[in-house]
Amino acid sequence: CTPTNTIVISPCPEKFDFITGPGTSSIMDPEKKGADLHDDARHAGIYDHGHSHLEGKNGWRKDWVPGSKRFEADLPGTSDQSAKWWYSAFHNTTAIVGAGVLGLPFAMKYLLWPGGVVIMILSWITSLYTLWQLCAMHELDGHRFCRYHELGQYVFGPKLGLAIILPPQLIVMIGLGVVYCITGGDSMHRIYQLYPPSSGASIGISLWIVFFGIMQIIISMLKNFNSLRGISLAAAIMSLGYSTIAFGITVKNGKQPGAVYNNDGANSTADKILSGFNALGIIAFAYGGHNVILEIQATMPSPPKTLKPYMNGVYIAYAVVSWCYFTVAFTGYWAYGFGVQDNILFSLENPRGVISLASAMVLVHVLGSYQVYTVPVYDMIEHSFLKRGYKFTFFTRFLYRTTYVCFTTFIACTLPFFGDILGFIGALAMGPATFWLPPLMFLILKRPSITNIHCLPSCFCVLYGVVVMVLGAIGGLRGIINRASSYEFYQ
């Protein structure tokens, strides 16, 4: 018996398709129970390596049939599953440490010392815990969930899962593409400002963003995740480099005259509160790696189980994260107080050569980070066409990837508001994807009792993530509106 009306989920070894639609009722009758239901499951070919998903008080919750592997070799996300465990160290460092670290001192100035320190530490602990939960759900009952939205479909159902997971995931990946275009353009523009030409010619930020987009078009021709490992490794090293430079110069220059640690410079009480909301989003933005965690984990061979070796790489990445984030955030705010800019490198003046080097490192890092978040987008695009029988050639791949890069570059040129974009995207998309969706799915799948060690922490993460999402999005959107009202576009 072959099920009808199936939704094909992006393939991976041991991947499965959801049964949905009217055809399901002819195969699995929700009213049947016990042995009759098991017989129907066997007749439909629904197996879970010996464990059927016949659970819940209504009998069955989700029904899977073996999925086709015919697309694996052609998809950017799963065409190469030979990654070593240490690949996850630099892939995750590149994914997590990005443009967000440069905005952390700016977030601190609105949260002040007590609030800033607490939120920074709490976000670090919470994000590492939810990342572990996400990785622990990558392999369940012999199945691999190689994409975030596939896990969401397994937990919430084929349609609801996509509706819940895909919007924030796409907002993060596309939004980060935009932010990294802005950051790359800013970095080149900063070097240009430090060493202006003798002719006095001026090149605005928009043209530098376009230059960055051209670089990305070239790099986008690499086929899959593992082909990016050299660029990703360089990007991870650069993140450590420019964070250390920013920390070192800040400490060397010391506390600046007039640095104050309050937000009295804000226009009103409402301005203080909404800026604080935006700061929550900026910090959430700094922990956006969860959106591609399963996609990176899928590049490792299985069996054996990937959780332990993958997490070894994650712990290395988080050690780098703690160094980069805490040193830059705390010393940047200490040195400049309320006067710190939304990009800490823009607050630094001397020595010019070292600051230029840091800006160049930022450029190399975001070149790699852009691709880490863009490959899953390419994977979704190619899978949607492969299901319809269309196979990509080099020309068609070049065409759609160039179009995508041009789209993100155009948005970056239109809205180059670094700090406010960080807050809005961080809250709206990374709040769910990083902080409350992983523990919510973990609670649904594992169903821990109230006395279980994971129950209360998971509930806390859900609550924390929802608060960050709502308040941060309000603050970030308000900041974008304020900046846009006085900004001269396409400079």
pLDDT cut 70: percent of the chain above it: 78
Whole-number Å distance between alpha carbons of 469 and 423: 10
What lies within 8 Å, CB to CB, of 446 at 6+ separation is 454
Q: Which amino acid is at 69?
A: K
Q: What is the DSSP letter of 7?
A: E
Whole-number Å distance between alpha carbons of 196 and 228: 33
Is 225's pLDDT higher than 90? no
Q: How many CB atoms lie within 10 A of CB 404?
A: 19
More confident call, 319 vs 281 = 319
Question: 49: number of CA atoms within 13 Å, CB side?
Answer: 9
pLDDT at res. 217: 94
Is 245's pLDDT higher than 60? yes
Residue with tokens 């480099």: 241
Average pLDDT over residues 285-310: 83
Is 141's pLDDT higher than 50? yes
Average pLDDT over residues 265-277: 76
pLDDT (tens digit per residue) in 426-462: 777 778 888 889 999 999 988 888 888 999 999 999 9
Nearest to 40 by CA among 61, 71, 63, 17: 63
User: Quick one: pLDDT band at residue 151, thresholds 50, 70, 90?
Assistant: confident
- 23: three-class secondary structure by DSSP: helix
pLDDT (tens digit per residue) in 364-373: 999 988 988 8
Are 304 and 451 in contact by the 8 Å Cβ rule? The answer is: no
**In the predicted model, what is the mean pLDDT of the chain?**
77
Whole-number Å distance between alpha carbons of 338 and 262: 7
pLDDT (tens digit per residue) in 101-116: 888 898 888 888 888 8
Rg value, the chain, Cα: 24
pLDDT at res. 1: 46
What lies within 8 Å, CB to CB, of 50 at 6+ separation is none
Whole-number Å distance between alpha carbons of 275 and 66: 50
User: Quick one: pLDDT band at residue 306, thresholds 50, 70, 90?
Assistant: confident
pLDDT at res. 148: 86
Instruction: Output the CA–CA distances (angstroms, integers) from residue 128 to 95, 209, 437, in the order listed.
Output: 14, 32, 14
Is 16's pLDDT higher than 50? no
pLDDT at res. 72: 58
What lies within 8 Å, CB to CB, of 362 at 6+ separation is 99, 102, 183, 184, 187, 238, 242, 345
Please give the backbone phi and psi of residue 124, each rounded to the nearest 5 degrees, phi first: -65, -50
Are 76 and 82 in contact by the 8 Å Cβ rule? The answer is: no
Question: 231: number of CA atoms within 13 Å, CB side?
Answer: 22
Residue 82 is inside which H or E element, if any?
none
User: Quick one: pLDDT band at residue 208, thresholds 50, 70, 90?
Assistant: very high
pLDDT at res. 38: 38
pLDDT (tens digit per residue) in 307-316: 889 999 999 9
pLDDT at res. 409: 93
Average pLDDT over residues 466-473: 87
Is 375's pLDDT higher than 70? yes
Nearest to 313 by CA among 371, 229, 238, 379: 229
Whole-number Å distance between alpha carbons of 353 and 348: 12
pLDDT (tens digit per residue) in 475-484: 878 777 776 6
User: Quick one: pLDDT band at residue 286, thresholds 50, 70, 90?
Assistant: confident
Whole-number Å distance between alpha carbons of 368 and 219: 9
